[in-house]
């Protein structure tokens, strides 16, 4: 064996030992941990996605529906039968004045007065001395007459049927009430004459006494044209 071949064999054996050592050595720490970290990140992402999916799809996280509220129970009501009102007839006294009595007014002609139905057509009993006519009143006692002067018209109207003035003076009113209601009155033994308020050309004549009345209370009222000599 030649001594020149020994060094070369030693070199080849050394290279073989180095190859075996490289195959059996563990990988570097960085290279071994890289795949593990990536797997951990992937696993963490999958867990987060699963949690998010669970939160979204969980019925507990959805807003709770409002519970229906039952309407309040109706309170039964008892309908009371209304008591019918008692109608009491009210008697209204007819009004005489300030210019007439109902449809009959001072100044009417004979034809106009008869057409109202409140006076009767003249006859021999009602045709008295000219120029005055005393016309009868339907349904009234003798003595109540409507005075009419030709060319002038109706000059006096009696207030029959309990007629009262617009100031509520009539049968039953006292002298004091008449005087207080109508200042400027003219008085005589049997009655009082006063100017009609707002119509100074007309007057009321109040007679006192009569059936069931003393001399201090009005028995009747008459509306007339002032200072005319025809009286009913």
Reduce the secondary structure of 90-127 to three states and give it as a string.
Answer: CCCCCEECCCEECCEECCCCHHHHHHCCCCCCCCCCCC
Q: Which pair of tokens denotes residue 91?
A: 């008697």
CA-based torsion, 11, 14, 20, 21: positive or negative: negative
- Find tokens 């563990």 and name the residue: 26
* % of the chain with per-residue pLDDT over 70: 53
- Reported as a single tens digit per residue, the pLDDT across 199-222 is 999 999 999 987 666 788 999 999
- Give residue 130's pLDDT: 65
Give the angle 93-143-121 at the CA atoms, nearest 5°: 90
- Give residue 228's pLDDT: 78
Q: Which pair of tokens denotes residue 141?
A: 């006692």
- Reported as a single tens digit per residue, the pLDDT across 136-152 is 888 876 678 999 998 89
Q: Which pair of tokens denotes residue 1?
A: 């064996």
pTM for this one? Answer: 0.59
pLDDT for 66 beyond 80: no
Residue ranges of the domains in the chain? 100-225
Q: Which of 54-63, 83-92, 118-127 has the highest average model confidence (pLDDT)?
A: 118-127
pLDDT for 41 beyond 50: no
- Reported as a single tens digit per residue, the pLDDT across 164-207 is 999 999 999 999 999 999 999 999 878 999 999 999 999 999 99
CATH for the 100-225 domain, from 3.30.70, 3.30.750, 2.60.460, 3.30.310: 2.60.460
What is the overall mean pLDDT for the chain? 72
Residues in the chain: 232
Q: Which pair of tokens denotes residue 71?
A: 């309407």
- What is the mean pLDDT of the segment spanning 112-133? 78
pLDDT for 52 beyond 90: no
């Amino acid at each position: 064996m030649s001594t020149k071949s020994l060094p070369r064999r030693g070199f080849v054996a050394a290279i073989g030992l180095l190859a075996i050592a490289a195959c059996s050595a563990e990988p570097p720490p960085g290279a071994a941990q890289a795949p593990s970290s990536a797997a951990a990140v992937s696993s963490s992402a999958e867990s987060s996605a699963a949690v998010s999916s669970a939160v979204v799809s969980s019925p507990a996280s959805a807003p709770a529906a409002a519970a229906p509220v039952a309407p309040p129970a109706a309170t039964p009501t008892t309908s009371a039968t209304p008591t019918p009102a008692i109608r009491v007839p009210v008697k209204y006294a007819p009004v005489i004045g300030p210019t007439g009595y109902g449809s009959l007014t001072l100044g009417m002609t004979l034809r106009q007065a008869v057409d109202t139905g409140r006076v009767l057509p003249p006859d021999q009993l009602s045709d008295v001395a000219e120029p005055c006519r005393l016309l009868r009143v339907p349904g009234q006692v003798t003595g109540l007459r409507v005075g009419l002067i030709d060319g002038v018209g109706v000059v006096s109207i009696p207030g029959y049927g309990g007629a009262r003035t617009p100031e509520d003076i009539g049968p039953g009113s006292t002298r004091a009430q008449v005087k207080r209601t109508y200042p400027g009155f003219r008085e005589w033994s049997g009655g009082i004459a006063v100017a009609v308020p707002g119509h100074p050309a007309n007057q009321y004549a109040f007679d006192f006494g009569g059936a069931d009345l003393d001399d201090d209370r009005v028995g009747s009222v008459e509306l007339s044209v002032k200072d005319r000599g025809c009286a009913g």
